[in-house]
Chains A and B, each alone.
Chain A
Amino acid sequence: MAKATSEKTASPEYPLTTTAVIAPIVGWIIPGAGHIYLKRYVRGILLLISVFAMFFIGLGMNGRIYKPNGGDILDILGFVGDVGAGGLYFLARIMDWGNAMAANAAADYGKTFIIVAGLLNFIAAADAHHIALGKKP
């Protein structure tokens, strides 16, 4: 009995593998790439299109990109959402996109689109992690 319990503790049901670490990181940096890395090509391409479209539509609507030193708690939360887009966020910062202040409803929607693109990418990266672990087909 004691031996069976120790064996169960020693070998977790879903052991953490290198792939399970790499896939979500790759998926975070390039949206959808985690799924493509795991050979889920259709899912990966659909995720890539969705996150890219949300992010660039948001920028096209003059959405604002949050910076890490916003000060205000809402600015910090906005930054956490934005940074979820991974490489797209860093590209936007390097290219100095998303500096326009929200002056109309469309720009406010744009800001929301960019934040949600990042949050959706976090979900996609977590999904890639679950696939790599074997929790999900």
Chain B
Amino acid sequence: MTFTLTHFSAAVVFALFTSIVFGITQKNTTREQIRYGAYCFAMFVGGVFVAGWAMWLIRR
């Protein structure tokens, strides 16, 4: 089975699963794990937007 993800969807899928593992492995309590996982996800996706706009500015 072969499929193609767009750049953005690949980044979001990557961010989702990586954040889950980071949250579980880096914090102790369930509450901390959820908060840290959400923080990592936001940073990953936020980084995608920042990088995207930076590239748009460079291209101008």
State the A residues within 8 Å of B (CB).
43, 46-47, 49-51, 53-54, 57, 60-62, 105-106, 109, 112-113, 116, 120, 123-124, 126-127, 136-137
Asked if A137 contacts B10 (CB within 8 A), the reply is no
Residues of B within 8 A of A113 (CB): 10, 14
Would you call B3 an interface residue if the criterion is a C-beta within 8 Å of the partner chain's C-beta atoms?
Answer: yes
Residues of B within 8 A of A112 (CB): 14
B44–chain A nearest beta-carbon distance, Å: 12
Asked if A124 contacts B25 (CB within 8 A), the reply is yes
Residues of chain B in range 1-56 having any CB-CB distance to chain A below 8 Å: 1-5, 7, 10, 13-14, 17-18, 20-22, 24-25, 28-29
State the B residues within 8 Å of A (CB).
1-5, 7, 10, 13-14, 17-18, 20-22, 24-25, 28-29
Whole-angstrom distance between the alpha carbons of A136 and B24 in the complex? Answer: 11
Asked if B4 contacts A120 (CB within 8 A), the reply is no
A118–chain B nearest beta-carbon distance, Å: 12
Whole-angstrom distance between the alpha carbons of A46 and B24 in the complex? Answer: 9
The SS class assigned to the B binding surface is helix
Measured CB to CB, the nearest residue on chain A to B30 is: A42
Asked if A62 contacts B17 (CB within 8 A), the reply is no
Asked if A106 contacts B5 (CB within 8 A), the reply is yes
Measured CB to CB, the nearest residue on chain B to A35 is: B24
Partner of A109 from the list B10, B18, B29 (CB cut-off 8 Å) is: B10
Whole-angstrom distance between the alpha carbons of A10 and B38 in the complex? Answer: 42
Measured CB to CB, the nearest residue on chain B to A43 is: B24
Asked if B5 contacts A51 (CB within 8 A), the reply is no
Partner of B13 from the list A51, A57, A127, A137 (CB cut-off 8 Å) is: A57
The 3 residue pairs across chains A and B that have the minimum distance between CB atoms: A127-B25, A50-B17, A120-B21
Residues of B within 8 A of A50 (CB): 17-18, 20-21
